[in-house]
Amino acid sequence: MNKQRKVLIAPSILSANFANLKEQISIVERAGADWLHLDIMDGNFVPNITFGPMVIEAIRPITKLPLDAHLMILNPERYIEQFYHAGVDILTVHVETCPHLHRTIQEIKSYNIKAGVTLNPATPASLLVEIIPYVDLILVMTVNPGFGGQKFIDKMLEKINTISRIRDNFNRDALIEVDGGINTKNAKQVFDAGADVLVAGNSIFKSKDIAKALKEIRKSTSR
């Protein structure tokens, strides 16, 4: 069955060298990356601060890759328009930050971009049931959000599987993306559990050979 499924790889620039961002993005693009994952952190919802729409606006003209923005910020609904104008293709919000999640998802979709929802490791998969029919993407966190280079939480494999079953029941078109601690050792398990898109930060950008590391992750899923 897996032979018919194609894995998408989304390198996360969180682990890239920001003084050399243009070159590093071009390396992953040439190496066959499918999306570029952009981690937006506000120092409130998560302990770390990264970058916002201005940096995305600067990246937009230098790559053809779909820009996949993961908002780890409080009140994300206040910034949808700015991220849209900055040029994102996919905007994903955390269920933990959205009391009016249905409204927020509708607002993202009103800009004709893809809308995603994501869950922290401790947030139950069942919270997705009511919103899945409306989303294009479900992002499953396999580390606690905030930092690159953390260890994959093995227990999350069961959750990916559960979410994959919920997806099959309620919205077959939604993609499942998995984020945190993915490397060549676990990528196949994650893919087999039901992931369509693999985010990888450290295991790609902290490697000596970025292009090779990306290709190795893809290859490891078909072994």
Q: Answer yes or no: 179 catalytic.
A: yes
Q: Which amino acid is at 73?
A: I
Q: Which amino acid is at 157?
A: L
| Set 39, 42, 68, 196: catalytic member | 39
Of 41, 29, 112, which Cα lies nearest the Cα of 70?
41
At closest approach, how far in Å is the CB of 12 from ligand DX5? 3
Please name the residue ranges forming H helices in the chain. 21-30, 53-59, 80-86, 101-110, 156-170, 187-193, 202-205, 210-220
What are the Cα distances from residue 186, in Å, to 70, 133, 152, 191, 198?
22, 29, 8, 9, 11
Residue nearest to ligand DX5 (CB): 201
Determine, following the binding rule CB under 5 A, whether residue 179 of this chain makes contact with Zn ion.
yes
Determine, following the binding rule CB under 5 A, whether residue 159 of this chain makes contact with Zn ion.
no
Q: Say which entry of Zn ion, ligand DX5, none residue 13 contacts (CB below 5 to 8 A, set by partner kind).
A: none
**Structure-token match 């985010």, residue found:** 199
At closest approach, how far in Å is the CB of 92 from Zn ion? 8
Determine, following the binding rule CB under 5 A, whether residue 94 of this chain makes contact with Zn ion.
no
Binding site for ligand DX5 (CB under 6 A): 12, 14-15, 37, 39, 70, 143, 145-146, 148-150, 179-182, 199-203
Q: Say which entry of Zn ion, ligand DX5, none residue 194 contacts (CB below 5 to 8 A, set by partner kind).
A: none
Pick between residue 66 and residue 149 the one whose CB is nearest to ligand DX5: 149
b (16+ CB within 10 A) / e for 68-86: bbbbbbeebbebbeebbeb
**Structure-token match 């039901």, residue found:** 194
Pick between residue 82 and residue 150 the one whose CB is nearest to Zn ion: 150
Q: Answer yes or no: 168 catalytic.
A: no
Determine, following the binding rule CB under 5 A, whether residue 39 of this chain makes contact with Zn ion.
yes
Residues in the chain: 223
Catalytic annotation, residues: 39, 179
Q: Given the rule CB under 5 A, which residues bind Zn ion?
A: 39, 70, 179
